[in-house]
Amino acid sequence: MKLDIKIKKVTADETNIFLKLLNFRYKYYVEKLKYIGASDDMDLLKLEYDKYDKNAIHYYINNGGDEIIAYARVIKNSMPKPIIDKTTVGNMNIIKNKKVTEISRLIISDEKRHTHILPMLVVELYKYLISSDTDIVLIDTFVGSDSYKIFKKLGFEDLDYLYNDGEYKVTKKSSILYLDLLEFQYKLKYRPEKCHKSFERLLILVEGRK
């Protein structure tokens, strides 16, 4: 069955799909992984959400029908970001006076976790990032997770931040990764290193580029 990658920006006209995405997040972050202690209204509505969703761009992949199998939230550089708002210790000089875009809530359904779905989503995110006004990309993920491994291979580095979010009940070690997007694009074109060659192979895998 053909997979459709769709980019959604939350508006009142997109309420139905937006609610499905929030339910998808609830199933994984609250019910399955128990990373978030849901409020009463979250449990009642079966939706996981926060104040940052309103101005975010919401990416998802479906199975060609109604089933959502992957999701990521992108918070643009002009908007408040939970990573920055809830970080208490870290090397702030890296992002000081920079245009920062955040990627968060990245989820791949269990049955698609070890397939090409995550690379597909990563490529879609990259295509958005290079078209946006972004200097630095931040990602909050868990050490050892599939997303952590793939982003590290693509050149993301640990920011060594202490992330302090009282909503989470996290037992796994969390890491904030960052990428200097302009430097990455330059090296990808003129001075490719191992991580850039890995990304080129990823583009070929997903889009058939030569």
Q: Give the CATH number, domain containing residue 11.
A: 3.40.630.30
**Number of structural domains, the chain?**
1
SS (H, E, C) 63-124: CCCCCEEEEEEEECCCCCCHHHHCEEECCHHHCCCCCEEEEEEEEECHHHCCCCHHHHHHHH
Owning domain of residue 179: 4-207
Tokens standing for 139?
Answer: 């990602």
Overall residue count recorded for the chain in this entry? 210
User: What kind and span of H or E run contains 164?
Assistant: none
Tokens standing for 40?
Answer: 């009463």
> Whole-prediction pTM value?
0.84
Type of residue at 54: K
Quote the pLDDT of residue 170: 56
As a whole number, mean pLDDT of residues 44-67 equals 85
In 3D, which of 149, 142, 146 has the Cα closest to residue 172?
Answer: 142
Quote the pLDDT of residue 25: 92
Intra-chain end-to-end CA distance of the chain, in Å: 25
Mean pLDDT score of the chain: 81
3-class DSSP assignment, residue 11: coil
The pLDDT of residue 209 is above 70: no
Distance between CA 174 and CA 158 in Å, rounded?
A: 10
Percent residues over pLDDT 90 in the chain: 20
Tokens standing for 182?
Answer: 């302009």
Per the CB < 8 A criterion, the answer to whether 117 and 69 are in contact is: yes
Q: Give the contacts of 112 (CB within 8 A, at least 6 positions apart).
A: 69, 70
Identify the residue whose tokens are 């359904």: 109
The pLDDT of residue 116 is above 60: yes
Tokens standing for 155?
Answer: 């050149």
The pLDDT of residue 51 is above 90: no
Other CB atoms within a 10 A radius of the CB of residue 131 amount to: 8
Lowest mean pLDDT among 35-39, 94-98, 137-141, 175-179: 35-39
